[in-house]
Amino acid sequence: MVAEILSFLKSEAKPGVTTLRLDELAESEALRRGAKPAFKGYSGFKHAICASVNREVIHGIPGKRALVDGDILSIDFGILYDGFYGDAAVTIPIGKVSSAAERLLTVTNESLQVAIQFARPGNRLSDISHAVQQYVEARGYSVVREFVGHGIGRNLHENPQIPNYGPPGKGVRLKPGMVLAIEPMINEKGAAVYTMEDGWTTVTSDGGLSAHFEHTVAVTGDGPDILSKL
Ligand code: MG
């Protein structure tokens, strides 16, 4: 359901559309399926999606801002259904974006795909973290340190935390049945970020672009199973 709804939002995210409209669509699509938007009411957050544009890294608040050609929009979305949570994020090019923006999106998404391949029994948690950092830094980008991936299941955020940086071979050993939300947040320029006065919206300190891709992934005996993929 998370994948279906994110895919729908992707098709609706165009120049002229407000992030609040996308939020309303996300909520109605969740409710129509008998699911509850996971973020609404979480720590006082009032919306179904986080909508983060350009230099905004995560936790952007949907509003009356209309998207314009050349923006990049990160949508983070989760639901609760039948006692379990799903969580995923995607950064979407709006209209025609710069080649620099396009490359940031491609590399961030690729870093997620590469990292997911380490979500296998016998590996350690930080093998995932290390994979993201290696991949993006080799291509000139920076890893956000202040926010991390997480376990997920009967709660939206469960242990362990999953940083997108660090040495390999540390942390818990992965076992079949573990479910992880892996979510690289990658900056075009420096890694530094800060949270604005609204208490939510986190932006890059140097104004550079930021991208965010996330999947909910089950560790299985047959390898990683991407649960939030269509
Ligand atoms: Mg998450």
Which homologous superfamily does the CATH classification assign to the domain defined by 2-226?
Creatinase/methionine aminopeptidase superfamily (3.90.230.10)
Tokens 């818990």, residue located? 172
What pLDDT digit, counting tens, does each position of 194-207 carry?
999 999 999 999 99
Domain boundaries defined on the chain:
2-226
User: What's the rounded Cα separation, in Å, for the pair 118 and 66?
Assistant: 38
Cα–Cα distances (Å) from 199 to 43, 59, 67, 195, in that order, read: 11, 9, 22, 6
199, burial (CB in 10 Å: exposed 0-12, middle 13-18, buried 19+)? exposed
CA–centroid distance, 148 to ligand 1, in Å, is: 8
CA–centroid distance, 149 to ligand 1, in Å, is: 6
Tell me if 122 sits within 8 A of 102, measured CB to CB. Answer: no
DSSP class of residue 38 equals S
Give the mean model confidence (pLDDT) for residues 61-90: 98
pLDDT at 142 over 90: yes
Give the mean model confidence (pLDDT) for residues 155-180: 98
Tell me if 98 sits within 8 A of 78, measured CB to CB. Answer: no
CA–centroid distance, 89 to ligand 1, in Å, is: 8
DSSP class of residue 214 equals B
CA–centroid distance, 22 to ligand 1, in Å, is: 19
User: What percent of the chain clears pLDDT 70, i.e. is strictly above it?
Assistant: 100
**Containing H/E element for 226?**
strand 223-226
CA–centroid distance, 18 to ligand 1, in Å, is: 23
Average pLDDT, the chain: 98
CA–centroid distance, 226 to ligand 1, in Å, is: 14
Q: What angle do CA 204, 104, 102 make, to 5 degrees?
A: 125
CA–centroid distance, 76 to ligand 1, in Å, is: 8
pLDDT value for 230: 86
CA–centroid distance, 68 to ligand 1, in Å, is: 26
pLDDT at 209 over 90: yes
User: What's the rounded Cα separation, in Å, for the pair 55 and 64?
Assistant: 18
Cα–Cα distances (Å) from 122 to 51, 112, 221, 222, in that order, read: 36, 19, 10, 12
CA–centroid distance, 213 to ligand 1, in Å, is: 9
